[in-house]
Amino acid sequence: MRAAVIHKFGGPEELMLGDVPVPEMGDHEVLMKVEYAGIGKWDIFEREGGYDRMLGLGSKFPYILGSEGSGVIYAKGKNVDGFEIGDKVYAAGFLNPKGGFYAEFVAIDAKYVTKIPETITMPEAGVISGIGLTALRGLEDVLRLNQGETIVILGASGGIGHIAAQLAQHMDARVFAIASGEDGVAVLKKLGVSAAVDGRQADVLSAAREFAPTGFDAALLTAGGELANALVQCVRPGGRAAYPNGIYPIPDARPDIRVIGYNGEPEPEIIKRLNHRIRSGKIKVHIDKVFSLENACKAHLALHHHYVGKLCFKI
């Protein structure tokens, strides 16, 4: 099969198109013929060998990146129920030991695989797992956001942020979304997030205080830096703030609120919760650019530049 592979950890120039064996499928796994694969900022850390060193994985090469994708069931193991050959599915497979989604086929445990609801397209399904699970984990499990509460979301036009803004709004919270650029604001408003502002404007903190004069109940920070630290100060005493692990610099702590870092692990229980939200038809993904596997290096370079929502590969 064709795949975008690396032969050693390093920069984006290490990504190249190659021919590798189709992964062998286990009894509890399905073999997916991949049509779309999400490109995440966490893929940079993986490509550079960060997870390998941190977790002591002893990775072997050629190595295939990619933690999420969509496609069809090509084959299934003897212990797999609930799927048929040809089913349209999407899956989350972070650090999948048999290789990632930057490839024509992926073998993955069926517990991480879900049929695609009619409410989203195949490309949307290919990129929603990582950002959707991380957004939902932050809002429901970490912040425990309640109906009627006020929340500020920083990085709301990014991958995690634009899903979180939609989720929070449909949880009947009052959402103040801080986007990056006028194009980010436009996308959020198109997705139905009415209180969206451009974080590059000097008066963003004034607008935040006007939105929540007594302070926000919660904050979800998908980016670090001076603005993130300023927004921590805009949370009311007794409130809470959360950020996905991996953002840098880590937001400042405050003694009178909880500031919590968390991971968005793809566990079957939260995958089901996310799919329930997707089936409602209220969550959409904005895909900024689509790349071919031949342009994997360019795709990773694009991660360092401004874009709205997500990037993806069409396999």
User: Where in 57-122 does DSSP place strands (E)?
Assistant: 63-64, 68-76, 88-92, 105-109, 113-115
Q: What is the DSSP letter of 112?
A: G
Cis peptide before 249 (omega within 30 of 0): yes
Q: What are phi and psi of 290, to 5 degrees?
A: -120, 130
What is the pLDDT at residue 224?
92
Q: What is d(CA 122, CA 15) in angstroms, rounded to the nearest whole number?
A: 25
Cis peptide before 62 (omega within 30 of 0): yes
Q: What is d(CA 218, CA 207) in angstroms, rounded to the nearest whole number?
A: 16
How much is the average pLDDT of 205-219?
Answer: 96
What is the pLDDT at residue 201?
81
Burial class (CB in 10 A: 0-12, 13-18, 19+), 53: exposed
Residue 202 pLDDT greater than 80, yes or no: no
pTM, to two decimals: 0.94
Where in the chain are the domains? Answer: 2-120+285-314, 130-262
Q: What is d(CA 294, CA 243) in angstroms, rounded to the nearest whole number?
A: 34
Residue 147 pLDDT greater than 80, yes or no: yes
**Fold classification of 2-120+285-314 (topology level):** Quinone Oxidoreductase; Chain A, domain 1 (3.90.180)
Residue 195 pLDDT greater than 90, yes or no: yes
Closest CA to 41 of 295, 314, 302, 313: 302
Q: What is the tens place of the pLDDT at every residue in 1-27? A: 999 999 999 999 999 999 999 999 999
**Fold classification of 130-262 (topology level):** Rossmann fold (3.40.50)
Name residues whose C-beta falls within 8 Å of residue 34's C-beta, 6 or more positions apart in sequence.
69, 70, 71, 101, 103, 104, 105, 106, 315
**How many other CB atoms are there within 10 angstroms of residue 150's CB atom?**
25
